[in-house]
Amino acid sequence: MISADMEGATGVTWTDDVVPGTEQWQRFRRLFTGDVNAVIAGLAEGGATDILVNEAHSSQRNVLLEDLDPRARMLTGRHKPLSMMEGIDSGVDGVVFLGYHAGAGCDGVLSHTYLPNQITGVWLDGVPASEGRLNAALAAEYGVPVLLVSGDDKTCEDAHDYAPDAATVAVKQCVSRYAAICLPPSRTSADLTAAAEEGMRLAGRGTPRTTSHHIDVEFDASHLAQAAAVIPTVEQTGVRTVGFDADTMTDAMKAFKIVTAIADGAVQGKYG
Ligand SMILES: [Zn+2]
């Protein structure tokens, strides 16, 4: 399975590059699809026989199906219970985090966690958590190894900590949140294919392990924490923070999704 986010795709450095409907987005969808195809090629060369691409960015309608490598199937569109990781519970042997990015409050190209700005930090069991770390914990619950992580160099550094065995490909070097030294797709696609093939050595279902988890979320304004704290199990733990416990990582991610949805709905114009 490939969980395909867009901020960490080849060449992407700017808001318009990833905002659906913009001219730049139309351009970068092609580069993003190219990254996806490069990974599909490597997974197939490494022995994968059934590859599911799960769109994980924004409206989750970014990859160009008409250009997709025919060896893969694609799950596209929004409103999926496990969101970026929908399909992880369907018996897959490995997952690739493609086009991922650094977490909220960290240095990295287009760094964020779920919401673009309003979340300033997330902690999983007390450890600062990017989307990659959260999703790796969810994959672990189903016994699914992370095979490969791609994004900028900060994304790869993060992955070395939460998925130390996974292959990594830095398609760009972060200069600032909106600037990077980028490699052309002709180079990144070769790197992605080689790393995906290498990552396939980890494929195979491990032992599922269900454990309880605690998640803390920090917002950039107090009313967002107040809004999120109406959710049963979610408690306001500070002026701008909430926290909650969950019996499983699946439940934790579902609760986190609700927290982000309610906070997003409470954002008010310019003041946020
Ligand atoms: Zn993302």
Q: Which residues are catalytic?
A: 112
Q: What is the band of 206 on the pLDDT scale with cuts at 50, 70, 90? A: confident
Distance 13 CA to ligand 1 centre (A): 13
Going edge to edge, which strands form the sheet with 235-236?
A: 127-128, 119-124, 213-219, 241-246, 235-236
Which residue, 101, 99, 54, is CA-closest to 80? 54
- pLDDT at residue 24 in the model: 97
C-alpha 136/C-alpha 132 separation (Å) is 6
Distance 256 CA to ligand 1 centre (A): 14
Does pLDDT of 84 surpass 90?
yes
Instruction: Give per-residue pLDDT as tens, 56-75.
Output: 999 999 999 999 999 999 99
Instruction: Give per-residue pLDDT as tens, 120-164.
Output: 999 999 999 999 999 999 999 999 999 999 999 999 999 999 999
120: CB partners within 8 A, 6+ apart: 104, 105, 218, 219, 220, 240
State the average pLDDT over residues 2-26: 97
Do the beta carbons of residue 262 and residue 227 sit within 8 Å?
A: yes
> Tokens 């760009």 appear where?
172
C-alpha 193/C-alpha 12 separation (Å) is 19
Distance 12 CA to ligand 1 centre (A): 13
Neighbours of ion ligand 1 (CB under 5 A): 5, 131
C-alpha 146/C-alpha 136 separation (Å) is 7
C-alpha 2/C-alpha 31 separation (Å) is 16
Q: What is the band of 257 on the pLDDT scale with cuts at 50, 70, 90? A: very high
Distance 57 CA to ligand 1 centre (A): 6
What whole-number percentage of the chain has pLDDT above 90? Answer: 98
Does pLDDT of 244 surpass 80?
yes
Instruction: Give per-residue pLDDT as tens, 38-53.
Output: 999 999 999 999 999 9
